[in-house]
Structures are given as structure tokens and as C-alpha cells.
Structure 1
């Protein structure tokens, strides 16, 4: 499966005289075309998703107006609680909002541009060892992977994470190429460290691959390579750990509660809820283990297959072939070093995603897309150069056949959408697979045609789903790829809101919340961050998220909440729809349930747009707290 601009082979006179390159017609023009297509795909009609993930949009809104909220990633400008991630991705979007004003475009355009930058950087990395053709393959695969088209148009932290990890891989490749590669390896460590600030421990999954590549293929002596790797590890700790130290040492009374933790600790958040708890399923404050697809087939299954599975088998085949081809190469061979980087990235991350027992969502797999693209670009190029060898031709043929059949299968999961494409992909793939067996004996023009048919057969299905994904507005906490919302898709948001979607209050309710909001610390409070985000985005006033994202964080406690009410710091309490299944070993939803019961027992609600609203500044009807054992 290769995207080839010319069948002639030549030898590189620079860097590595033993490495054959394709003679690419106008590689700069081809790259410009790839980046232009990527930009259109990621930017076109970007505002249709409006606030996308309202949970993060509310934090951007808060940070755009308050420096403390920006620093800690608070969900509201009054700094009641943070999002359940470190806030590096929010910093990028918030800076854009501060410059251009807070709106969907100012929030989402940086995400899309990070996607274009990731494609360009992946091209640069793969081109260094595989040539322009390999770089274009890698970049095209990343750009046209459906989950990439989803997440680079969304406001989750994954866009920044992917860009930083691609940058780390690029820097590691450069470190392996030089006799004095320490500074490049140090830069790789810094990139991974800031990746931690985007999505915590997930960023560290690439470290085994990056370390192994430099220790194996770096040019300095072994002792120097070990020392350089240790220095890079320190760079990871420093560039990511400074923020952990800042948050831990900052007086708790002067900062928001750390969302996602049970003890107001960012270290606990990193190692627990967003760390090892994701592997074991033991996540205090989470929702318990809800996974039913743990195992090697998860990445191709109904949960994640449409997001990332399209080219995954081809990447495995091409990477394995690349290692076989370079098995006798010198220790410092650049191609094998790159295979270690991208193959190790893919292997470690894929195994973790397949077997993790805690919270895992299909869109997490976007971090696999660069490794899949690079693996195919490098391995397929090495195979194509040896297409006259029956073993290489058979391997290429098998990769194309598996990819086209898998593409047809994954397309069938989208129901009756474009049924003709399944047949085209399957027939084209079979034809290309057959022709690849004899590609080494064909003429130049015929060879180009075979390569083009193979590339189109492999990329048509994911490209079509990517276009459909980009054409469909997405919102909520679990967006899904494809032409229409599937069973995993988030609801656009009804009046009530909930755990995974945000409410969209009508004008009269939003106006009520905003009225006299400046006289209170929080214009309203409601259980759950998504509920709070919907009311906050509609009213423009700070809304307290009682219990954080899941409603299970012990913030605020009932005692704190009643003190805020006594001090007239909260105007309204809104009874939102909330699913509170908290983890049995943690705080569960006790505090948020007690607060809701306390309010309902003391205050008389008014119903606006079907939503119960309690005015906490009115005289309570009773001073006795409720003693209901039921959860409301």
C-alpha cells in the first residue's frame, strides 16, 4: 500500500548512501497540497459543533476572564473546581479566546491548526529516513484517519497531546542521527513532559519506544547514550512536574478544588483517577469498570474499530516487514531506529488501550494514528523498493488485501450509508493485491497505476468516514466518528443535561441566571460539571459544578455549601439531570446528594422550561435538613 509519484529508484548521495529514495515530482508542491487538504478537512464548517465538549468550553470561558481559572483550568471564573485534567490544552485555547474573544471558532481553530502541524511534523520525521514519498504516505494516513478528523475539530486535550508526542518522536530521530544528539533528546523529553500537562500519564506511553531507539541506535558510545537518556528523563520530570509541584504547594484555600481527585490533590489525580486507575478499573470517584470488550480485539471491535482500526493491520504488517528488511543493518541505521520509535509507540499504546480496565473512550485512539501512518510510510516504502522480490510483493499484496477487506467490514457497521463504497473498496483492493504480486515485472506507467489503485483502495474507506465525520456536528463528552450519531455519540444537549451531555437552556432561564449575577460569587450551582457548563455557557455567569464531572468529588461538602448560602454567595440551585453511580470505594455521590437533599428540603422551587430552580437568597421554609436515604 503505497502512494508513489514515480517508480524510478535512485540512490541518496547524502546522509545514507545505502538508502534508496523515490524520485518524487515536486515534493514541496505535494506536501503543500497535503497540508491544504488537511486544513480544509479540519477547518471547514468548524463552528457547526458550537461549544463541542461544553465541559472544556466552560473552562476556556472561565480562563478567558480570570487568570487563576486559566492557570488551574477551573470550570468557572469563581474557581470552585477544576477540570479533571492538567490544563495545558486549555491554555492554548484560552490564549486564543483572550486575543480573539471567546466563541466556538477562537476555541476550535487552534485545535485544527495543531492537527495540520502534526501532519507536517510527521511528514518531516518520516521523510528524513524514508524519503518524501514515505513522508506523504504517513501524513496522509494521519490526516485521513477518522478519529483524527474528529479530535482535531474538537476541544478535548488530545489534539495537543498528539502534536507534542509527534514532536518528541521527531526530536528523538534527530538525536539518533547525530554524534552529539543530547540536545535533541532533551527536547524530546521536554515535549513529553508538556504532553503530561495535556493528558497526564497517557503521554508517558511513548517513553519506552523513544528510549529504546536512542539506546539502540544512537551514535555516541553506550555510556554516553545511557547518560543522555537519564538527562532526558529528568527533562520529562521537570517540564511536567513543575506544574504538579505548583498545584500541590499552592494554598488550597487560594485555588480551586482539583477535580477528579478525592483529596484535592493533583498528584492523586495523576496517579489515581487519570493514572493507574485507568489500567485497573479501581478509580475512586469514577463510575466503576463499565468495559465489556477488554482484549486484543478491542481496537478492531465495535467500540474502537471505526475510529482507528482501518489501517492498523497494515501498519503491523509493514512494521514487521521493515524490521525483517533492516535486520542486518548497522546498529545506527536510521531506518531501523525510526521503526523502533514508531513501532514501539504503536505496540505499547495499543496493548494498554486494549487491556485497560478503567475508563477508556474510543477517541483516545487518536494517539495511535501518527504511529500507524509512520509505520505504513516506512515499511511500505521499504517493501516497494524490493517489489521484484516475491516475498516483498506478497507482503505488500497481503497488506492491501487485509486493509481493503477490513475497510469494507468497518463500512458495513455504518448501516446503509454509502453501501456502494464497500464493493468498490473490496473489488479495488483485491485487484490491487493481485497486481502487486507482479508489480516488479511491470512497466513504469503500469506500476504507477497499480500503486495508485492500491493507495485508493486502502484510503478510500477511512477518507470517506473522515469526510462524513467532519461534516457532522459533534458535542458532548464522548463524540463518535461517522456520518451520523451512533450508539456512542453524545447528545447535543436537552433542557435537563446529564453526565455526558450539557443542557441547552432557553433564553428565559439563561436570562434569570444572568440577572444580578455580579452580586454573587456564583450565579447558580448544579450537580455535575456538564450541567454547570451548559448553564454557564448560556448565561455567561459563573456556575458552580457540585461534585465535579461525575458528581462524585467531595467539593463542596455540605458544610461548605451551606456556608456559601449563608454568606449569600450562591444565587440559585438548579436541579439538573444527573447520573451518579459513583465508585463504591470512593466518596461516591454522597456530598452532592446531601447538598441536593438539603436544598430541596429547605427551599421552594419554581419551574422554568421544565427545570426546577431554587432561589437560595429567599427565606427557607424550614431550618431542618432533609434526612432522606434516597438519591434524588
Structure 2
């Protein structure tokens, strides 16, 4: 007879731990976090703001770009709040500014599991979590201090609350869900609203309440959405302009204008403010644009495409660098990786977004970042609607599983539609598609396996799984072909053979092993692509993934602020700053950011990110100069600035500082793993022989190579 025991169950007995999920989460943590302490300053524009936000609550609340609180970044502050708190605790460093994105990225993987498992089973939940983990753009984006990883986490959290409100018949969870969307609006504005249609449709279908109660509860939830959406923007817009920084990215110093203009309709229709016109290179409506999987291709006079050489040609910044730091050619496969807004982005480019149309997301510009498993998810979605149907019900009487499939389809369709037609976005914005692709891949695979087991070869429902494997493998083979021809062939051969053998050995024990082989054939390539940012220790302002990072060395700039600070110029300015409020003034954030990060001193970016925000007037600037708050101006000769009147006044009245007074040349220093440029007065820029890996940190704004002219403004008055 067993004696009674008082031994209590341990943690693992009380909580059922899914060890497969634990391994997936560890993989995600490694992919997103490894080497982030060696990645440079990530997005200098935001790192500068984080540096400034740690210095005062005012800067923290408004997301001020500079310590003096002159102008803000062009996004709301919530994501930066987490990063600033991290930097305040750990100190501003490579690691601290990226840490919140890493944690939110891992948290999103966990939420994917929690959102799928209760309705489609543990297997489907694991697949969804794994697909989310190995989506290349998710890895690349979660390694930066951009806002997207934070946004995705809170959108998934809102979906979790929505599911909970339906399961528990609790109105407060519903209100919390929509309030979280309002909170997410203050991470990246209208991008958060893209999933609201899916939430509304899902709640209407899944809730057991009467239609009157549904309307009542949704009305209260909408009020919560509005309150949490507008609380911060209105608090800013209702504050006197004299008591806060200028709202960067807007033309009239307004957050709401920024939300519905630059960060709203212009993302869809094309940028018309902030640059003096639409950006070149943001996609093309021409059917002649290249969609070769290798990325950058050359066109001869007969419009025939020649394959990329993969070699890095000569580069002359004075000729090739455009006024806003955009490098010609878009994708420079096998060449240099420009890490900055407006520069080249590894496997794609800052604005290399392909040709608008229904198949844009499958083109080479965006596909290798997000679409590796998109065909599998779409076919799986169709299989789910068919396989999870109840034959005893009418077609419109959806089962619980079908309703949850509607939820993820409702996320996928509008986001897919937006990126198919939008004119102004970066490739890494496509991370918005990742949760829907992951969820539909997981639940879709569960549905296809079930249909494959239940139906014979004389029924079309048995063919969803082999079809999904072959179609997905075909797309992946095209993406891989210009990099590794042998892998392209291998993927196709294994996938096709596995699909054929699936049908031949359908009812035999070998069938399970063949399914695994078929699935592995379409998992290898995206897994490798997702590994490249980690191997390259990449953390770029324009994050991308792909083999290019391994040949270019990624953004391994060594340390915050080292990439583009002219140390001799900095020493001169520090020595002669005196009691001036600003170390110096300049046109845009690209020049200012590295100096703010390096010194933690105020540097005035007169026109904000692109140098085109009308934040400063000539009369106000004269007052700042006369009072001694601004003593120096660094002019880099950039066109397109809205402050040309001020610059012309400076050139006419201020004393030009001789370059010999701060070293005789303007050297842009970088880490040992980066290229070094030496700019001498009157000479074109020449590229020095690279040392170590070939990479340049072009982080921050349009251009941050300090090779301009320094003016002493104290000589005016």
C-alpha cells in the first residue's frame, strides 16, 4: 500500500510546457538577438532620438530628435519609449536600443502559438510559430530599432484579447482589444488600423450575442479605440508650439497632419511633401521594370536585360550620390550595402519595391523578404475553408475553425492589397504580412494533412498538400536561382519527387516520412535567408535579409556614432562651442544624428529628416545666431532643402572656416570593418582601399558624409 505524500507538483507538472515551442523560442531569440551588441547604431535617426529622450521627460514625451527639443522624429513615440527606457537603464549602446525589438519579436512568436493552438491544435500552433520565426524580414526587422517589431507584437496582443473576449463573453476584453489598437496607432500610426476590418468581421461572426448587443459592445470598443488613438496626438497638437519641439515630417507642425498625410495617404498614393516631390525609385508603374530574382540588373540600349556581374564597380560619391543620399541602381547584388534611409538595402534597396500590381509581393524586390511561404499559406487557407466545413450545415454557417480562418484571411487580404498598389513604403514594412502568412501556414497545413488522410486520389481535396509543396517550391527555386543554381534545382527536384511519392505511397507507413521531406524542401531556403542577418550581425536602418549581407559584411560599423563622425571637425567644434546651445546647425538629420549620438550634445537639424520640414524661419534663425545659441553651420551642399533662404543668408554674411583649422581635410572615419573616405577641398571623393569587410554605415537621414563647408556665424553680429 502506497503511503500518502505531501509532495507538491513542480512547475513543469503544474504548467504543461511545450518543449518544441521552447526550442522555437530559443531559435527566435538567437536569430533576433545574437550579435546585436556589435551591430553599430542601427537606425541613427531613431538612435539619436533615443539618446535625446534619455535626457529629459519633455524629450521623452515628444520623441525629440535632438537634446535641445528642437524637432521630433517623423513617427509617434511609443516604440521609442520602450527603447529609451532600455537605454536609460543599460546606457545608450548598440545593444540597449535594439533589445526591445528583440524581445517583442520573440514575444510575437509566442503569441502566434497562443493564437493558433487552441483552435487548430498544438501542431498547427508550432508550425505558425516556426514560420513566424524564420520569415526573413521578421528576423531582419527584429534586429533593429525600427518600430515594426513592436507594432506587430501589440497587434497580435489585440487579437489575443479579442479571442479572449469571445471565449469568455467578456466585454472588457473587447474594449481592451480595440484600446490596444489605439495604443498601436501611436507606434506607427494608420498602419495599425489595417487589421481592424478583420477584427470587426471576426467578432461579428464569432460572438454569440444578439446583433443589438454586438453593436452596443462594438460601439464602446470603438470609443476606446478613438480615445487611445487620439490621446497623445491631441495632447501634442493642443500644446503651444513654443513649448514643444516641431513635429518632424509635417508641414504645419501637427501630429494629425503627419498621421493622415506623410504617414497616411502619401504611403498609398506617393510622397508629395517632405521631399519637394515624389521619391524616385519607389516602384514603377511601367511593365518594363525588372523583376529578376537577382535584384539589380543592367539594361542595354535595346532594353534587353543582362545578368548582374556580382562585382563591385568603381564608386565616386561626388558623381553617384544623389542629393538625398539615394544611390543609383537600387539593388547592388554582390556589392556594397548602404545602411541608411535613402541608401541601398542589402538584397533590395530602400525604395526598391517592384512594380505595382496583384503579383508585386511575388516579385524579386519584395518576395525574398516575405513571400517564401505565401503560396503555401494561400492554398492552405482555401483548404482550411473546405476542410473545416461541417457538411451538415449550410455553406454560410461557419464552424469555429472557419471563423478563425476568416480572422487571418481578413488580416492577409487588405494588407496584401495595400502593398500591391501603394507607392511609398520601404520593403521591410511587409513584416505586416508575416503573422497572417504564419497563421495560415500552420492552420492550412493541419487542414491539408487532414484532407489528404480522409480522401482518396479520386477526390480533388487530397491534392491540396502536394500542390502547395510544388507551387511553393517553384517560387522559391526562382528566388534562389540567381544566387545558388544548384540549390534551386535541388529544391524543385526534392519537392516534385516528394509530391509524387506522397500520392504513390499515400496509405503506407512511408507517407509520413515523405511529408516531412516535402515540407523540409520548402523550409531550407527561407531558413537560410533568415539566418543571413544574424550571420552578418546586421542591424540596418533599412533592414533586409539575403546572401548579399554575407558578401558585403552587413552593417558592422563597430560602435554607435563612429560611422560618420569627423573627429577633427568634432574636436574643433567642441573647442570653440563656448556657451552656444547647439554644437552646430545643419540641413538634415543625416548629418546631425551621428554627432548627437557621439557627444549627447544638441545639434540642430533645421529641416528634420530630409531637410525639408519648414521648422525654421530666417527671422527666428537670426535671433538664435544673435543670442549666441547657434554659432556654427555645416553646409553639405544638399539640394531640395526648404531652408535655402537661411542657407543663402549664411553664405552671404557668415565667415567660412578654413578647412586647415580643423585638419586640412574632412575625413569620415569608421570602424576597422568599414570603408574610409577622404574628402579634400576642391577634389572629388575617392574611395580608399577597404580594410576588412566591405560595408559603409550610411545610417540616419538622407546623407551623413561630413564633407561640407563650416561657417562661423558669430562673425555676423
TM-score range relative to shorter protein: 0.7 to 0.9
Aligned-residue Cα RMSD (Å) equals 2.5
Which of 371, 376, 386 aligns to 1:309? It is 371
Q: Give 1:488 shift.
A: 13
Q: 1:594 aligns to what? A: 645
Q: Give 1:484 shift.
A: 2.1
C-alpha spacing 1:614/1:240, structure 2 compared with 1 (3 Å): same
In 1, Cα distance between equivalents of 2:188 and 2:584: 29
Q: 1:223 aligns to what? A: 212
Q: 2:112 aligns to what? A: 122
SS at match of 1:437: helix
- 1:453 matched to 2:517? The reply is yes
C-alpha spacing 1:427/1:519, structure 2 compared with 1 (3 Å): farther
Q: 2:293 aligns to what? A: none
Q: 2:357 aligns to what? A: 295
In 1, Cα distance between equivalents of 2:65 and 2:22: 39
Q: Give 1:426 shift.
A: 1.9
Q: 1:629 aligns to what? A: none
The answer to whether the 8 A contact 1:173-1:337 is kept is no
Q: 2:572 aligns to what? A: 512
Q: Give 1:487 shift.
A: 13
SS at match of 2:452: coil
The answer to whether the 8 A contact 1:387-1:439 is kept is no
In 1, Cα distance between equivalents of 2:383 and 2:638: 51
Structure 2 counterparts to residues 395-414 of structure 1, below 5 A: 395-413=464-482
- 1:424 matched to 2:490? The reply is yes
Q: 1:256 aligns to what? A: 245
Structure ranking higher in helix proportion: 1
C-alpha spacing 1:422/1:118, structure 2 compared with 1 (3 Å): same
- 1:56 matched to 2:42? The reply is no
Q: Give 1:46 shift.
A: 1.1
Q: Give 1:406 shift.
A: 1.1
Q: 2:68 aligns to what? A: 78
Scaled by the length of structure 2, what TM-score is found? 0.76
Residue-by-residue CA offset, 1:157-190 (whole Å, 9 max, x unaligned):
1011110111122222223333x13222222212
The answer to whether the 8 A contact 2:505-2:511 is kept is yes
The answer to whether the 8 A contact 2:537-2:555 is kept is no
- 1:356 matched to 2:452? The reply is no
In 1, Cα distance between equivalents of 2:542 and 2:19: 37
In 1, Cα distance between equivalents of 2:573 and 2:624: 17
In 1, Cα distance between equivalents of 2:639 and 2:547: 28
In 2, Cα distance between equivalents of 1:50 and 1:550: 22
After alignment, is 77-86 or 332-341 more displaced?
A: 332-341
Q: 1:344 aligns to what? A: 410
In 1, Cα distance between equivalents of 2:477 and 2:503: 22
Q: 2:618 aligns to what? A: 558
Structure 2 counterparts to residues 195-206 of structure 1, below 5 A: 195-206=184-195
Which of 220, 233, 238 aligns to 1:244? It is 233
Q: 2:714 aligns to what? A: 618
In 2, Cα distance between equivalents of 1:100 and 1:56: 17
The answer to whether the 8 A contact 1:54-1:476 is kept is no
Q: 1:366 aligns to what? A: 431
The answer to whether the 8 A contact 1:570-1:616 is kept is no
In 1, Cα distance between equivalents of 2:375 and 2:25: 26
Residue-by-residue CA offset, 1:509-540 (whole Å, 9 max, x unaligned):
23334446583222111111122112222333
C-alpha spacing 1:346/1:532, structure 2 compared with 1 (3 Å): same
Which of 353, 363, 378 aligns to 2:443? It is 378
After alignment, is 474-483 or 316-325 more displaced?
A: 474-483
Structure 2 counterparts to residues 183-194 of structure 1, below 5 A: 183-194=172-183
In 2, Cα distance between equivalents of 1:206 and 1:459: 27
The answer to whether the 8 A contact 2:389-2:399 is kept is no
Residue-by-residue CA offset, 1:87-133 (whole Å, 9 max, x unaligned):
11100100001111111101111111110000001111000111111
Q: Give 1:613 shift.
A: 4.5
In 2, Cα distance between equivalents of 1:430 and 1:29: 32
Structure 2 counterparts to residues 7-22 of structure 1, below 5 A: none
Q: 1:482 aligns to what? A: 546
C-alpha spacing 1:579/1:294, structure 2 compared with 1 (3 Å): farther
In 1, Cα distance between equivalents of 2:73 and 2:144: 16
The answer to whether the 8 A contact 2:137-2:543 is kept is no
Q: Give 1:232 shift.
A: 1.7
Q: Give 1:590 shift.
A: 2.7
Q: 2:463 aligns to what? A: 394
- 1:94 matched to 2:159? The reply is no
Q: 1:233 aligns to what? A: 222
Q: Give 1:397 shift.
A: 0.8
The answer to whether the 8 A contact 1:310-1:403 is kept is yes
After alignment, is 279-288 or 187-196 more displaced?
A: 279-288
C-alpha spacing 1:474/1:33, structure 2 compared with 1 (3 Å): closer
SS at match of 2:548: coil
Q: 1:626 aligns to what? A: none
Scaled by the length of structure 1, what TM-score is found? 0.86
